[in-house]
Every structure is written in structure tokens, then in C-alpha cells.
A and B are shown apart, each in its own frame.
Chain A
Amino acid sequence: MSSKFTKRPDGRKFDETRKIEAKAGVIKKADGSAYFKIGKTTAYAAVYGPRELHPRHMQDPKTGILRCNYNMMPFSSEERVRPGPSRRSKEISMVTEKALGPVMDLKDYPNAVVDVFIELTETDAGSRCAGICAAAIALADAGVTMKDMVSAISIGVIDNNIVMDLDGEEEHIEDVFVADIPIAMVPSTGEITLLQMDGRMTKENLLEGIKMVKPVLKNIAEIQRKALKDKYKR
């Protein structure tokens, strides 16, 4: 299939992510914390809990619950983001909970909550995935029982080409079809815990993208684990 898109704006290979940095234990007050930076997109995550859940009607006597809160700082985007929850941030908070939930086991903490606060200081696309990666490190750092890491990235489809980790410039390419597929995976099992998509693509694009993303996410999981190990070397 011929394609008009042959070169990525920043010169990356199609399966190449932006530069990733991860660090655990960055917020002292928190029970667990991390930051995850991919390109310019920077997410901080702080975990508090397990602690008593308010409001009480949300308490579950059978298990503790995971509560995520995604927020963009006002100066994290080209145009100022009004403080406070928006429809977008509420939805992302919810899908983040669903992305992390499958690896959590909170049944030892009935009526409790594990709060995850995700703050984006700077964004250039891929912020929900960066938030999920940061949150997974922070949860592990907090010592909450987890079955595995969760790693996330956005798959891009630009004019029938699969590319990893779309940046802001690529998201806004015009003239050709662009699709953005944020995906989160449990790396050891390949279970997909987050899948969203906007843009336009074929089913083949999707399946090819999922195939291509697996080694990339395994690599991200290694970076996440290394961040945790490095904390104890300091």
C-alpha cells in the first residue's frame, strides 16, 4: 500500500517511542509516588492509602477500592486549563481506574480506598498513558498488592502506517487519516486493560498495532521496574 507518510516529523523510527524517564518516590508525603516522562509529557502520581473511604456509602465491606484522579495543571497545555474537574478529566480518571484495577487485589482492605492522584505538569499528547504508567509505579512504590505492572502507550495510525507514541504534532497532521489508540496492557499476560481510539483506521490497522505495541510495552514495564529498583539504590 503506498503512503504519503514516510517520515515522522521528529525523525523517530515508526516503532520508536520518545525518550522515557521514570522515577519512584518523588513525593515525600505520599505513601507511594512516581513521575513518568515521555518526550515532553510529564505525569506525577501520588498514592495515599489504603485509608478509610469517604463518603461512607461508597465503602465496600468485601474489598478496598481504587480511586484515581487525573488532572492537568493549568499551565500544562498551550492554552490555560481551567482548574477543577472537566468531563474529559473525569472520563480519563475512570478509564485509568479500569486500566489499573485488574492487577490490584484490595480484598485485604475492606471499606478502604487507595487514592491515586495523577497530575500532568506538561503535556504533548499521550498524557493518559503517561498517567497510567506513573500511577502503576506509584502503586507498587506504596507496597499495595499487585499482580503485575501496567504499562500504557498510544498507538498511532497515520495514513495506514502504524507508529508508536504519537506526539502533539503528529496528532494534528492534516490531509491524511490519523488515528490515536491509547492502550494499556498487563505485560506478562498481554491482557488489555485500556483501549480507546479516535480518528479513522481499518480493523487490520488495529490488529497490526496491537502486535507491534507488545514489545514496546514490555520495554516500558522494564523502565517502570527499574525506577522502583533505583529508588533503593539511592
Chain B
Amino acid sequence: MNQDIKNHINEALKKGVRLDGRKKDEYRKLEIEVGVIATAEGSARVKCGDTEIIAGIKLSTGTPYPDSPDSGVMMVGTELLPMANPEFESGPPRIESIETARVIDRGIRESKTIDTKKLCIEKGELVWMVMVDVLPLNHDGNLIDLGGLAALAALKNAKMVELKDGKPLFGKRTKENLPVSCMPIPVTVLKIGDNLIVDPTHEEEKAVDARLTVSVLEDNTICAMQKGGDSPLSEKDINDMVDLAIKKSQELRKILNEALAK
């Protein structure tokens, strides 16, 4: 990244301001809308500043993994579409999109958001497979948090698919919800110089020294973490970052719950 822009972001942050005028711990305006794609079992659109993400859930059936014969399978995929940013290229998924998908996946998996036991159709033979696809239409930063929110909203919005003779009837949905219990909210805190910020724009992301994604549950416990960036973090940094993440997760949870109640 251009060193001058980085210095500029850094100098501004020292005075407590960001390039777009926000406070350091301030999110951009967040909008969540569910049920936006009729072909998907569940879907959501998340807009935050100029970042816009669509998440969709598709169900299919398959054989369970040998080490968990009575559990359904959940997988999160993220593609950084070349549509969303001039820096993304077509081709096989690159490490950024793999990391984004895996961090979102981990939050949902480790919190046992989805009751995979309820997705078992016949032990050892047939289970439901839940594919969560998270795709940015426009990328202006904070894909992990916003993608995670979109994935959760879509999961909460999802209905089961009808089953006939062990085959799913695609396009026919039951009234039953996907067994989703808790909602782990991912919050990424970025460290730039000595300052901590949340909800970075793409430009701020490029100026990052270190970042920490924390997935927080309703009771403020943590279910997944991921550190990124080139610089190390001190114990105090981690303490402050987790504190900030927990605080922000409560705000985000409120917005998500309001969107789901609509």
C-alpha cells in the first residue's frame, strides 16, 4: 500500500478521527435484509457503508463423515468475486477468500449454531448438507464481520427442503426452520499504529498492522478467534481488542435480531 496514505490514516487516528469522519469504535450504517433470494433455502443481504454482501443457504443430502455418522454437514464458502473490487481476479480461490470463509465457518461451527444431530436422516448413510455461500457484490472492507452476519441471518431465515424416498425435492420447502440455536457474532478489531478500530474500509484494511477477529455469543463468551496482520500483539492489546469486540457484538446482535423480527 501507498506509504503516504498509510501515514495519513495513522496521523488522523492519533487525533481520534478516521478518513470518513467516524469515531474509532463506530460502525458504518448497517442494514440487514432477509429472504432476498427465492431460489435459496435461506438468504440475506447485508449493506454497511459501500460494502454489500449476499449470503445464501442451499441444502442437499449426502453421506456423513465416518467420524460423525449421525451428524449433518455444514460448510461455508466465500468467493471474492472480481465484480466486487478491482483488486480481485478470476480463478481459483485465493488465500484471502479462503481465510474469510474459514473464519466465518469456525465461528458458526464451534458455537454449534447448527444442531447437526437434527440433520441426520439415516445414521451412517444419509444426512443433510448445509452449504452457506457468502458473496460480496461490492467490497469496501470488513468482509469477515459482515459476511458472518449475512451467513447468520441467512441461516436463521432458512427452511428445510422436502424429502421423498431419501431424495431432496429441490424447490419444495417445508415450514420447518433449519435447526439454528445461538448466533456467534464475529467482530474484527484492527490495530493501526497504537489505535484500535472496528469496521474498516478497504483502505483502512490495507493500512493494518494487526487484527483480531473474535466471535462472541449472547452470554459474551467467545467461540472463535483469528489473528491476522504482520505485527505481533501484546497481552494488553488482546485484552482491549476482546473488550471492544464484546461491546460491539452486543450492538450488532441487536441490529441482527431486529432484522430477523421483521
Listed in ascending order, the chain A residues whose CB lies under 8 Å from chain B are 26-30, 40, 44-46, 48, 51, 69, 71, 73-80, 83-85, 115, 117, 119, 121-124
Cα(A69)–Cα(B81), bound, Å: 11
B52 neighbours in A (Cβ, 8 Å): 27
A76 neighbours in B (Cβ, 8 Å): 37, 39-40, 56
- SS class, residues of chain B in contact with chain A: loop
Stretch at the interface among B16-24, B130-138, B185-193, B226-234: B130-138
| Contact call A117/B82, Cβ cutoff below 8 A | yes
Asked if B38 CB lies within 8 Å of chain A CBs, one says yes
| Contact call A44/B37, Cβ cutoff below 8 A | no
Cα(A28)–Cα(B137), bound, Å: 9
Q: A26-B137, A46-B84, A80-B131 are in contact. List 6 more A-B contacts (CB 8 A).
A: A27-B84, A29-B139, A73-B54, A78-B171, A80-B133, A119-B83
Stretch at the interface among B85-93, B103-111, B213-221: B85-93
Cα(A122)–Cα(B38), bound, Å: 7
> Closest Cβ of chain A: how far from B81's Cβ, in Å?
6
Asked if B65 CB lies within 8 Å of chain A CBs, one says no
| Contact call B82/A121, Cβ cutoff below 8 A | no
Chain A to chain B: the 7 pairs with minimum beta-carbon distance, closest first: A75-B56, A75-B40, A80-B58, A117-B83, A78-B170, A74-B133, A46-B83
| Contact call B38/A28, Cβ cutoff below 8 A | no
How would residues 161 to 205 of chain B score, 1 for a CB under 8 Å from any chain A CB and 0 otherwise? 000000000110000000000000000000000000000000000
> Number of B interface residues, CB 8 Å?
33
Within 8 A of A (CB), among B120-177: 131, 133, 135, 137-140, 170-171
Nearest CB in chain B to that of A45: its residue? B83
Contact A29/B170 with A44-B137, A74-B131 known, Cβ cut-off 8 Å: no
Q: Which among B40, B43, B77, B137 has the greatest number of chain A C-beta atoms within 10 A?
A: B137
> Closest Cβ of chain B: how far from A42's Cβ, in Å?
8
A48 neighbours in B (Cβ, 8 Å): 82, 86
B13 neighbours in A (Cβ, 8 Å): none
How would residues 18 to 32 of chain B score, 1 for a CB under 8 Å from any chain A CB and 0 otherwise? 000000000000000
Cα(A115)–Cα(B84), bound, Å: 12
Can you list 22 residue pairs at the A/B interface with Cβ under 8 Å?
A27-B137, A28-B50, A29-B50, A29-B84, A29-B139, A29-B140, A44-B83, A46-B84, A74-B56, A74-B58, A74-B77, A75-B37, A75-B131, A75-B133, A76-B56, A77-B39, A79-B58, A80-B133, A85-B90, A119-B135, A121-B37, A122-B38
Cα(A73)–Cα(B83), bound, Å: 12
Q: Which among B84, B131, B140 has the greatest number of chain A C-beta atoms within 10 A?
A: B84
| Contact call B133/A73, Cβ cutoff below 8 A | yes
A75 neighbours in B (Cβ, 8 Å): 37, 39-41, 43, 56-58, 131, 133
B138 neighbours in A (Cβ, 8 Å): 27-30
Asked if B250 CB lies within 8 Å of chain A CBs, one says no
B40 neighbours in A (Cβ, 8 Å): 75-76, 122
> Closest Cβ of chain A: how far from B34's Cβ, in Å?
13
B171 neighbours in A (Cβ, 8 Å): 78
B43 neighbours in A (Cβ, 8 Å): 75
Asked if B70 CB lies within 8 Å of chain A CBs, one says no
Cα(A77)–Cα(B139), bound, Å: 24
| Contact call B82/A29, Cβ cutoff below 8 A | no
> Closest Cβ of chain B: how far from A185's Cβ, in Å?
26
Contact of B82 among A26, A69, A124 (CB under 8 A): A69
Cα(A73)–Cα(B150), bound, Å: 15
| Contact call B57/A71, Cβ cutoff below 8 A | no
Nearest CB in chain B to that of A46: its residue? B83
Cα(A69)–Cα(B89), bound, Å: 11
Nearest CB in chain B to that of A81: its residue? B58
Cα(A48)–Cα(B39), bound, Å: 29
A74 neighbours in B (Cβ, 8 Å): 56, 58, 77, 131, 133, 135
> Closest Cβ of chain A: how far from B170's Cβ, in Å?
4
Cα(A46)–Cα(B90), bound, Å: 13
How would residues 66 to 99 of chain B score, 1 for a CB under 8 Å from any chain A CB and 0 otherwise? 0000000000010101111110001011000000
Q: Which among B50, B83, B85, B92 has the greatest number of chain A C-beta atoms within 10 A?
A: B83
A51 neighbours in B (Cβ, 8 Å): 86
Asked if B60 CB lies within 8 Å of chain A CBs, one says yes
Cα(A75)–Cα(B37), bound, Å: 8
| Contact call A121/B54, Cβ cutoff below 8 A | yes
